[in-house]
Structure 1
């Protein structure tokens, strides 16, 4: 990349799972990266290898408060993303989604910079249509335990679209479906990390309900490639656009695959299904294929093997199972998805 093509790019939630991979990708492209995180669930461990890079800057900050910086592009990834974390402080989760969106939109408006919002498949709630397309409005419980995240992200999408209509702001909305890979928090309560940690520790894998509920799993490298393509789309396209893997798997199938790939002897135990847990979740990615020329390339077994290798370090260190959920490196509030 020519020096004149290099941009200064802000990544909020940059020390989180997706954020750290995005920072790494942007640096590899020759850009300067300003990583903002308050380490509520993000971790310095995720970006430690980037700290010596002269084009990388780390700022500890909560996006629920205004931020005054000079950048060319903004990726807004800051928000706790797993039920264990976002339900730990639901009011702060809503503040992060809504106030964070307002602050990043205000910054983008002042700078005339494109801004990408990391939204979520949770805006569809427990969907009554399958697979989910972008024109589906969703089936969300606005007063349930998951609403702090679901409704916070839905409100953020509203704000992004209103800034687009009212201020002609160049916004991009990515509806992210289940994504996994190295740097996931070992105790984030998500199914992939739960199953892997249980399998590596020789503990029973906890399957809720009868295990017939489905999810679609996208490897992190594929998701980061989609972010890049979405940000590069013309100003006339802002989304929302579904980003995820359209291949559907049951929870029981996932548990059995992880046991086999990790060479574990763990058993599978069944527990009652949590409230408002979607029965089926699979993206329709026709829009992403048509507009972004993107679809996932990494197969589930290949991605799981890389993720299992990453998680082995925590079992060897013996520290992951002792980390209380949502308290590792706690600071003010908010984190990367």
Structure 2
């Protein structure tokens, strides 16, 4: 069933991506007509509209695509590795650990500020995931998915509370911008911040595509995958590292953007099936498209005010997720 229109669906997603990028450049608190955008793309950036497009909208639209794709891929890998439909970087504590270190960096904590923001976020995400994994690991390195999920929820709640404490103890003048960043925001993103996530995303996606057969084997369970010749220890280490990298880099760039890594893989599987030959590109495309349009909504819904990404993302994602879970329960 899925094979009949899989290629057509992926081609449709590829066609929608540049159209969505153009829409992100045109739409905002100040809508710009197509002819103005065309003139700017041809090099006429002398007008105010040129500055709006090149300095403000272009970096954030590209950042939305990269962050959405990275979180979509990270969520798909987490759900495959753990065979848990509720697994994503947020439920595993990765994003909360990255957020804690990033907030400490933004508020000027002495030792943390010595590190670049992406590195600080990565260290926080890695430490948080290590705590979750340690709590869930049983005898013989066996992992109980339920215990892993509950451990992730508990540690994520602890790290969220610590993040709130750090914010309250910090400079009150920075509390507003930091809180907005905690809910997810692409305001102020610059083009120079994008290459790191772009390189990480390309590299991680290439590794996932190259090892898609091993990922398919993991869907059958670790024991069955091991009988097929899959090195479980190596695969777990590899995919855990990739999940932490993608989630931490995304948090460092856009803050805590929730639900993307949880919902996108479900949509990809619903449309194209569970095989990673389609799941990997579908998660990248759906994640990019979803966050581009959510960012457009954030800029236009209450213009000239701007919504954090987490608010419309929750409004859109929670009903969809509940309906998917309800369908599986029947």
- Return the TM-score normalized by structure 2: 0.26
Relative contact order, higher structure (CA 8 A, sep 6+): 2
Greater CA radius of gyration, 1 or 2?
Answer: 2
TM-score by length of 1: 0.26
Which protein is richer in strand relative to its size?
1
